[in-house]
Amino acid sequence: PSMAYALCRPPGHHASADMYGGYCYLNNAAIAAAALAAQGQRIAILDTDYHHGNGTQSIFYDRDDVYVASVHADPDQEYPYFCGYADERGSSLGAGFNFNIPLARGTAEAQYLVALDRALTALDGYQPDVVLVSHGFDTLAGDPEGRFNLSIDSFERIGRRLRSLGRPLVVVQEGGYSLADLQLAFAAFLGGLLH
């Protein structure tokens, strides 16, 4: 399948239509999703950043042309604190088109990949024409902004799972602040995506 990778800084998934936060001013993935949806394409967004993409959720919460799935830290424990809970499923036309999987601090690869597989199954059932991935590297063990315990090799496995969807992918880089390991995690992720 076709693929594109957007190396964006600052990240964007905390920015909503009328609010910025969490270092985010423009929601890059949401802008791309809205443009593709306006062309009549069915879009799914998968957010794999450590923090919940509250901006992305708010933008599409009442829409049925963009499915949003997110695997992230439990908002009881981490930013943004006020949303990202499992019972937030969308409203109005968007009811059932939002899927949150919050995970506890310390989550390691095995539990993370189970949650990721659940999210991928859900969004694949939507049969999107394009999958946008708000991809964060702050799930890496030791990241100063995250508290998950993924290894460098975990990112290769994540990349393989995304590729196995067999759908066009647009990956938009979000967080990731462990500068010493970021390039290694990035290379592992690309390896999984491309092989």
Nearest to 138 by CA among 174, 110, 189: 174
33-38: Cβ within 8 A, 24+ apart = 33/60, 33/66, 33/132, 34/59, 34/66, 36/129, 36/130, 36/132, 37/63, 37/65, 37/66
pLDDT for the residue numbered 6: 95
73 vs 106: CA distance, rounded Å: 9
> Could you give the CA distance from residue 47 to residue 174 in angstroms, rounded to a whole number?
9
Q: What is the pLDDT of residue 24?
A: 80
For residue 55, the model assigns a pLDDT of 92
Lowest mean pLDDT among 12-21, 71-80, 141-150, 157-166: 12-21
63-122 tens-digit pLDDT? 999 999 999 999 999 999 999 999 999 999 999 999 999 999 999 999 999 999 999 999
Structure token pair of residue 169: 């992918």
Active site amino acids: 14
Among 12-16, 79-83, 132-136, 143-147, the range scoring the smallest mean pLDDT is 12-16
Q: At what angle do helices 179-194 and 152-164 cross, to 10 degrees?
A: 30
Q: Given this model, what pLDDT does residue 12 score?
A: 82
| 121, 77 contact by CB (below 8 A) | no
Residues in the chain: 195
User: Which residues on adjacent β-strands are paired with residue 47?
Assistant: 70, 134
Per DSSP, what are the bridge partners of residue 99?
Answer: 69
Q: Give the number of other CB atoms < 10 A from CB of residue 87.
A: 5
**This prediction's pTM:** 0.96
Given CA atoms 36, 65, 1, 100 in this order, what sign does their dihedral have? positive
160 has a pLDDT exceeding 80: yes
